[in-house]
């Protein structure tokens, strides 16, 4: 009899737990729905407020949502805080790290942006977004060797991606790899005919060749 009583008590507790979970999920779905509506209306403050009653620090989805909304509201510090909580909850979730890059970029904290991209590449070495934008950071710092390695990964995966092809072309030009640069600029012109950047690059190569080969011609 005692065993039967324990069984019914356990069953009742389980049913109560399931009912509470269902209620919590329904409340979360409702809050998200209202938050999406407010976001679409560009009322980011209201979108954030809709999330507050259901927010739990240990909930990855809510932290991601509030990270995004605070970014849209230009509350960059708060946005970074929520994204970092999401990263702590799911360290291998690339979306959380890509999300965190947005407010970090907005405040121009490029070293922290670089760190996030590097962490993403540890998880997913062929992640095209991280490879490309980390390449841009290195390019702007004139670290052309590092930039080349990153851009080449993307171009090998997506040979018709204009942005990666043109950045690799300019990187090659800055390392005086004129033959490679010329081929890449020509490739960029196939992807995007009459592209000003590619035409400018080819013009610079021609000028360099004229200046450096003339003394050799008798």
Token pair listed for 137:
């950071």
Fold match between domain 34-124 and domain 128-218? yes
Q: Residue 209's pLDDT is what?
A: 85
Q: Residue 155's pLDDT is what?
A: 98
Structure confidence by residue, pLDDT tens digits, 132-184: 999 999 999 999 999 999 999 999 999 999 999 999 999 999 999 999 999 99
Helix axes 196-213, 178-191, angle to 10 degrees: 150
Q: Residue 19's pLDDT is what?
A: 40
Token pair listed for 153:
């990964």
- Report how far residue 98's alpha carbon sits from residue 95's, in angstroms, rounded to the nearest whole number: 5
Q: Where are the domains of the chain?
A: 34-124, 128-218
- Contact call for residues 107 and 79 (beta carbons, < 8 A): no
At the fourth CATH level, the homologous superfamily of domain 34-124 is: Tetratricopeptide repeat domain (1.25.40.10)
**Of 2 and 148, which is predicted with more confidence?**
148
In CATH, the number for domain 128-218 is 1.25.40.10
């Amino acid at each position: 009899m005692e065993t039967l009583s324990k069984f019914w008590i356990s069953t009742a507790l389980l049913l109560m737990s399931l009912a509470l979970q269902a209620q919590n999920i329904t409340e979360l779905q409702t809050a998200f729905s209202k938050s999406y509506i407010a976001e679409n209306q560009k009322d980011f403050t209201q979108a954030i407020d809709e999330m507050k009653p259901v927010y739990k620090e240990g909930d990855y989805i809510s932290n991601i949502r509030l990270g995004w909304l605070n970014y849209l509201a230009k509350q960059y510090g708060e946005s970074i805080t929520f994204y970092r909580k999401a990263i702590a909850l799911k360290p291998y979730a690339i979306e959380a790290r890509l999300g965190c890059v947005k407010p970090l970029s907005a405040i121009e904290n490029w070293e922290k942006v670089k760190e996030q991209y590097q962490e993403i590449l540890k998880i997913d070495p062929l992640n095209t977004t991280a490879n490309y934008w980390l390449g841009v950071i290195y390019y702007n710092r004139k670290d052309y060797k590092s930039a080349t390695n990153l851009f080449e990964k993307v171009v090998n995966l997506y040979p018709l991606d204009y942005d990666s092809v043109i950045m690799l072309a300019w990187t090659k030009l800055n390392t005086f790899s004129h033959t490679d640069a010329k081929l890449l600029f020509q490739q960029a012109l196939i992807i995007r005919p009459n592209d000003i950047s590619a035409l400018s690059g080819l013009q610079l190569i021609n000028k360099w060749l004229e200046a450096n080969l003339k003394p050799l011609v008798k």
